[in-house]
């Protein structure tokens, strides 16, 4: 009996630890899904332009703040890759667009200090730098948008949280193939590196880009919402007046 009770307590404790360490169990809940929908809809009540990276970090924080301890908010001053921290998970916020073929491209680090036209460097040196920067975070929190080709201003936003070591981001396991220049100035020269899911272009600040299909990440979807962006968004003064009236009434 004692042994059985101990085993039950151990199971309960391990289950609790597992759940508290599982980012998906903590974030994939109805309340956060509703927060996501409301934040996106609220943003587009005032904005016609797509929601992109500079604002996604703040909005993502608003979505989870009631359910996670939010720390290390970047405010433009943070470790490479890392934007903030939700509970014990270090987060890197990204936004991207699905093209008409279902393809996605996400920008990552600028590696001009490691590889360039003058020195293409080697896979080993490039990976050393990538590992150093990747060590600052655990998950990508990615906002994916898809514009509806048949309906003006109709857009779908999808939120995915993906482990940084997921295979599409695992550059080390991909072959580094030299990109050979075709233009006269760089013809025949090594102008970058490419692999199955990435490329690095020396003429673009040696920025690392990831390329993949939405199908590669759909298992990590936390929430999705489709909206019709208003032709005439609300202005800041209109929002202020609405809130002022509500405050007077209450």
- The continuous run of DSSP H or E covering 131 comes out as helix 123-134
Q: Which of the two residues, 201 and 148, has the higher pLDDT score?
A: 201
Over the Cα atoms of the chain, what is R_g?
22
Whether 8 maps to a domain, the answer reads no
Whether 238 maps to a domain, the answer reads no
The Cα–Cα gap between 216 and 165 comes to 14
Predicted TM-score (pTM) of this structure: 0.85
* Tens-digit pLDDT profile for residues 88-104: 999 999 999 999 889 99
Query: How confident is residue 149, by pLDDT bands cut at 50, 70 and 90?
Result: confident
SS3 107: strand
Whether 17 maps to a domain, the answer reads no
Structure tokens at 44: 């587009």
Q: What is the pLDDT of residue 2?
A: 53
> Cβ distance 219 to 167 under 8 Å?
no
Residue ranges making up the domain that contains 127: 29-230
Whether 249 maps to a domain, the answer reads no
Total structural domains in the chain? 1
Q: Which of the two residues, 12 and 68, has the higher pLDDT score?
A: 68
Query: How confident is residue 73, by pLDDT bands cut at 50, 70 and 90?
Result: low
> Cβ distance 97 to 147 under 8 Å?
yes
Q: Nearest 5°: CA angle at 55, between 28 and 163?
A: 40
> Cβ distance 180 to 132 under 8 Å?
no
Whether 94 maps to a domain, the answer reads yes
Whether 113 maps to a domain, the answer reads yes
* Tens-digit pLDDT profile for residues 8-52: 333 333 333 334 469 999 999 999 999 999 999 999 999 999 998
Whether 246 maps to a domain, the answer reads no
Whether 5 maps to a domain, the answer reads no
Mean pLDDT over 64-82 rounds to 74
Q: What is the pLDDT of residue 248?
A: 83
């Amino acid at each position: 009996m004692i042994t059985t009770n101990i085993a039950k307590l151990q199971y309960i404790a391990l289950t609790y630890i597992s759940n508290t360490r599982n980012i998906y169990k903590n974030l994939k809940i109805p309340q956060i899904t509703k927060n996501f929908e409301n934040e996106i809809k609220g943003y587009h009540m005032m904005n016609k332009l797509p929601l992109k990276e500079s604002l996604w970090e703040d909005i993502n924080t608003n979505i989870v703040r009631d359910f996670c301890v939010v720390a290390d908010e970047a405010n433009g001053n943070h470790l490479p890759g890392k934007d903030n921290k939700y509970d014990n998970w270090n987060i890197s916020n990204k936004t991207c667009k699905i093209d008409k073929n279902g393809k996605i491209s996400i920008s990552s680090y600028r590696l001009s200090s490691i590889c360039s036209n003058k020195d293409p460097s080697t896979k080993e040196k490039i990976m050393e730098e990538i590992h150093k920067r990747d060590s600052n975070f655990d998950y990508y929190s990615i906002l994916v948008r898809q514009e509806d080709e048949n309906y003006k201003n109709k857009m779908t936003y999808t939120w995915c949280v993906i482990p940084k070591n997921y295979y599409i981001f695992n550059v080390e396991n991909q072959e580094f193939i030299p990109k050979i220049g075709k233009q006269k100035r760089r013809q025949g020269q090594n102008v970058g590196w490419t692999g199955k899911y990435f490329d690095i272009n020396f003429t673009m600040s040696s920025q690392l880009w990831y390329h993949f299909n939405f199908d590669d990440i759909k298992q990590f979807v936390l929430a999705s919402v489709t909206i019709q962006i208003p032709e005439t968004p609300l202005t800041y003064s209109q929002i202020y007046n609405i809130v002022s009236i509500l405050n007077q009434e209450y």
